[in-house]
Chains A and B, each alone.
Chain A
Amino acid sequence: MVNLKKLQDVPKTYVKEVLGELSRLEKLKKIPFFTGIHFKDAERELIRKIENYKKIGKDAERVWKIIELSRNEKRPQCRDYINGIFKNFVNLSGDRLGGEDRSIIAGLGKIDGKTVAVIGHNKGKDIKERMEYNFGMSTPYGYRKSQRIMELANRFGFPIITFVDTPGAYPAIEAEDNGQAAAIAKSISVMLEVKVPVISILIGEGGSGGALALAVGNEVYMLENSTYSVISPEGCAAILWKDPAGTKLAARELRLTSRDLMKLGVIDKVIPEPLGGAQNAPERMVKIVRKYIIDALQKYEDISGEELKSARACKFESMGFFSKG
């Protein structure tokens, strides 16, 4: 027998549907014409549906925990990785076209005795910093600064390391007037063009085009509890579910966790985090990431610029699932 207690763990957005079916069933039972007919099959079907929704709900909660971890303020940020990994880091500013955006850090530094360019989103640690860095949401100034540093690295043969951690590009009128779309497109284009190794690491939130603008790498790694998505679960729920209650379900459907994306071939490696998440042992996390960067640089050491470029283009051009009927 279906009772309402069973509905306790069903995600809110599905409750209405289940209740609807339940009441339809109850109504049918009351019609005299149907007395004596068993509704067991229909009931079993409904129970199976409820169980399935419960499972989805539970899985959505699991994914949501990862999202919360990826957004945790205590997680090591781009700056921590720069301080902990690169020697002699020189911070560079400005896009030379009219602006500077501190939501992106860019500069040159040394790792393992080699000079590299380092570019990453900068979220900030406390509310004051977060305001200053615009919560890691960049404007065209930031993307164009990043392009400038990548082109500089390309000219001198410096490998490029990027740290991705952004909710997305800054949605603002000024940013749009200044060509946000063109700036992101150009960043992607430059990342595909350079003839040096590009290593991208998603360290927290990988939000949409704003993340991709720094993530077109020969190697793309994700920290275990980071996320990478075409749209935020909140945004997705607003559009497809038309209800904020769908947020956690959207998070699950979007397959935005490192393991999902590894399976889909969007990323190349998952970097394990210390137990419970990177925020529990930031210094250890930085050390782990350092090791992955050094290994990746070694892998690409003897590969020619042309090869690096065509391998990158090939990798991204082969992405996609479709049928060829």
Chain B
Amino acid sequence: MTEDMGKFKCKSCSKEMENEIFVLNMWVCPYCNYHHSINAGDRLRITVDENSFVEIGKNIDSIDFLNFYDTRAYSTRLKEAKLKTGMDEAIMVGEAKIEGIDVAIGIMNFGFMGGSMGSVVGEKIKILSDCSIEKKIPLVVFCASGGARMQEGAISLMQMAKTVSCINRVKENRIPYISVITNPTSGGVSASFATLADIIIAEPNSLFCFAGPRVIKQTIKKNPPSDFGSAERNLINGQIDMIVNRSDLKKILTSILELFR
């Protein structure tokens, strides 16, 4: 952290605060409890025991196998995303400890091309599942995604089947699987591994749906209700187990993991 951190303005209530306070509060607004998106590195830091994370599958990289070109080439978009986020892909997976308990952990990064799922996300979920099965350690995945990666065409759609198959194997092996829904989780990721967890935890104000509000708006020609797809609405509708504040997440995760020990 630098000395002069500047000010941060909350996306929800527009109140300003010192950047440092905001960071110390885990990127949650102290005034309105709005949970801002955080990148995978920061998520890792506030979730797992210090220096316990060992990344796996770091060598797996996306390729532009369709030569997909919209207004820019997919290969260009990939390079830009890497520069912007300093990450290799929309998910980072590995082994770590949470309060001393071994877990296989995956953390998605919405900043990397909208957290979209292409071949690499699918493959990393696969090696993560294999790791949890092989070592008999619980699987924890932090989800954040806009859906499948269009630039990989139908192959990205197939990643839904691929990841579901992996989760099926995790379940067959009686490995507990916890998914944490963070803002936003939608499309192909929500309709595959995110919703198939034994326990689904969501952060406050996280959007969790299949079709997002924009798509709904196009269909019904009016704005969906403001709480559409929100964690709070999903809890009432029976789609998730609980909503947990970011500051309590590690504690709750630990107590759940303890139950399966």
Once A176-B229, A179-B237, A182-B195 are accepted as A-B contacts, the answer to whether A188 and B66 lie under 8 Å apart by CB is: no
Give the contact-size bracket for chain A.
35 or more
- Cα A212 to Cα B218 with chains together (Å): 23
Closest to B200 in A: A182
Any B CB within 8 A of the CB of A302: no
Per-position 1/0 for B58-96, Cβ under 8 A of A? 011111011011110000000000000000000000000
Any B CB within 8 A of the CB of A296: no
Number of interface residues of B (CB under 8 A): 63
Q: Is B209's CB under 8 angstroms from A185's CB?
A: no
- Cα A208 to Cα B157 with chains together (Å): 7
Any A CB within 8 A of the CB of B19: no
The B interface, classified by DSSP as helix, strand, loop or mixed, is helix
Any A CB within 8 A of the CB of B155: yes
Once A177-B237, A240-B71, A266-B158 are accepted as A-B contacts, the answer to whether A319 and B211 lie under 8 Å apart by CB is: no
Shortest B210–chain A CB gap in Å is 4
A320 proximity list for chain B (CB < 8 A): 118-120, 122-123, 155, 158-159, 162
A192 proximity list for chain B (CB < 8 A): 161, 164-165, 168
Any B CB within 8 A of the CB of A317: yes
Q: Is B215's CB under 8 angstroms from A261's CB?
A: no
Any B CB within 8 A of the CB of A323: yes
Q: Is A316's CB under 8 angstroms from B165's CB?
A: yes
Q: Is B153's CB under 8 angstroms from A230's CB?
A: yes
Once A230-B157, A236-B150 are accepted as A-B contacts, the answer to whether A189 and B70 lie under 8 Å apart by CB is: no
Most A CB atoms within 10 A — which of B61, B155, B166, B220? B155
The A interface, classified by DSSP as helix, strand, loop or mixed, is helix
Shortest B65–chain A CB gap in Å is 4
Q: Is B224's CB under 8 angstroms from A322's CB?
A: no
Closest to A14 in B: B71
Shortest A24–chain B CB gap in Å is 19
Total of A-B residue pairs, C-beta within 8 Å: 189
Most A CB atoms within 10 A — which of B120, B158, B160, B193? B158
- Cα A174 to Cα B228 with chains together (Å): 10
- Cα A176 to Cα B61 with chains together (Å): 33
Q: Is A181's CB under 8 angstroms from B190's CB?
A: yes
Per-position 1/0 for A291-325, Cβ under 8 A of B? 00000000000000000000001001101111111
- Cα A317 to Cα B192 with chains together (Å): 13
A interface residues, Cβ below 8 angstroms from B: 13, 169, 171-173, 175-182, 184-186, 188-189, 192-193, 208-209, 212, 216, 228-231, 235-236, 239-242, 246, 249-250, 253-256, 260-261, 264, 266, 313, 316-317, 319-325
B interface residues, Cβ below 8 angstroms from A: 59-63, 65-66, 68-71, 118-120, 122-123, 126, 148, 150, 152-162, 164-169, 186-188, 190-196, 208-211, 215-216, 218-220, 224-225, 228-229, 233, 237-239
What 10 A-B pairs are tightest by C-beta distance, nearest first?
Answer: A320-B119, A171-B211, A240-B70, A181-B190, A181-B210, A184-B191, A316-B161, A230-B157, A182-B195, A319-B158
